[in-house]
Amino acid sequence: MSIIKKGIYAALLLTVGLFSSCDEQEANSKLVLNEVLITNESSFQDDYGQHNAWIEIFNRSFGSADLAAWRLRASSTPGDTAEYFIPKGDVLTRVPPRQHALFWADGEKTKGTFHANFTLNPATANWIGLYDSGRKLMDQITIPAGLLKPNQSYGRKMDGTGNGPQAWEVMNGSADKYVTPSTNNKTIETNAKMEKFEEHDPDGVGMTISAMSVVFIGLLLLFIAFKLVGNASVSLSRRNAMRTKGTTSVQEAKEKKLGEAPGEVFAAIAMAMHEFQNDVHDVEDTVLTQTRVKRAYSPWSSKIYTLREVPHKDLHHEEHHEVHASKK
């Protein structure tokens, strides 16, 4: 293979690899950069009441995504890139579906999780990159120098959609392009599908017919399914009965109704199941009462009849002894 062919082959491989990596990044990136404001003079305030630059991240998936251990990188000077590690342990880093997270580029990370350790320079171009916990680049944007005026932001035309500078525009505060921190970049006030439906079916007759057709078709399919299952069950029972009786004629088995249970059997089974489900446990009162038990008196356990008790004197015996002594 000549050197030219090798060079063409290597270039093709590099091109395919770049395109595949871009597609993979676009497909796997749930969290993307969505809007950036550099010069904040009188726009949105942070939780300390100060006006600082901010970076908005959007979760474009329909499931929660966590920013913990991700990284924000920014560069205003070529070769000088600052990195902010989004700390773990803060429940607010978990971004709900189709919602936003706002980070303040004020250079004061001690103020909290959402305060980055870098600032943005309005006099130069600003590059911002979003990296996942594995240091893989998930999204990036470069804001040219002098593009934004004070209180203007640079955001996506639609939240989380598009790729590249063509998907971004300047939010200059007009009626349809206004600064939207922590909210949608564009508010959709109409529903194109609903308007089209009202145009073609203003009275809803078509929708009613379609809904009823779906219900009836579903019921018909259920009837057919139960019918087939019932027939298969009867055939299997008949086959087992024929094997037990030693019969090979299907017609004879049908005439003798082998494998078919009469209605009384099903009624007895249903009654037994009803009795089992309702009478298997006794219905007991949930109120607990405690009654004091009175034990019968027993002299064997009474202390007054122990040997330590001083014996009573017999007065009659003493008087008799004294009289007897006096006679002597």
Q: Which amino acid is at 324?
A: H
Residue 22: predicted pLDDT: 40
H-assigned helices in the chain:
3-28, 192-200, 205-245, 250-255, 263-279, 315-327
pTM above 0.85, yes or no: no
pLDDT tens-digit profile of 126-139?
A: 999 999 999 999 99
* Cα–Cα distance measured from residue 99 to residue 159, given in angstroms and rounded to the nearest whole number: 9
Residue 320: predicted pLDDT: 58
Phi, psi at residue 277, to the nearest 5°? -75, -25
Q: How confident is the model at residue 306 (pLDDT cuts 50, 70, 90)?
A: low
| Between residues 318 and 36, the one the model is more confident about | 36
Domain residue spans in the chain?
30-189, 205-279
300 pLDDT exceeds 70?
A: no
| Between residues 215 and 193, the one the model is more confident about | 215
Residues 115, 108 contacting (CB under 8 angstroms): yes
pLDDT tens-digit profile of 242-296?
A: 777 777 777 777 777 777 777 788 788 888 888 877 765 555 666 666 666 666 6
CB count within 10 Å of CB 170 equals: 15
- Hey, what are 236's tokens? 């299997």
Q: Rounded mean pLDDT of 68-82?
A: 91
* Cα–Cα distance measured from residue 132 to residue 126, given in angstroms and rounded to the nearest whole number: 20
3-state secondary structure of 141: strand
Residue 138: predicted pLDDT: 94
| Between residues 151 and 6, the one the model is more confident about | 151
For domain 30-189, the CATH class is mainly beta
19 pLDDT exceeds 70?
A: no
Mean pLDDT value across the chain: 81
| Between residues 290 and 24, the one the model is more confident about | 290
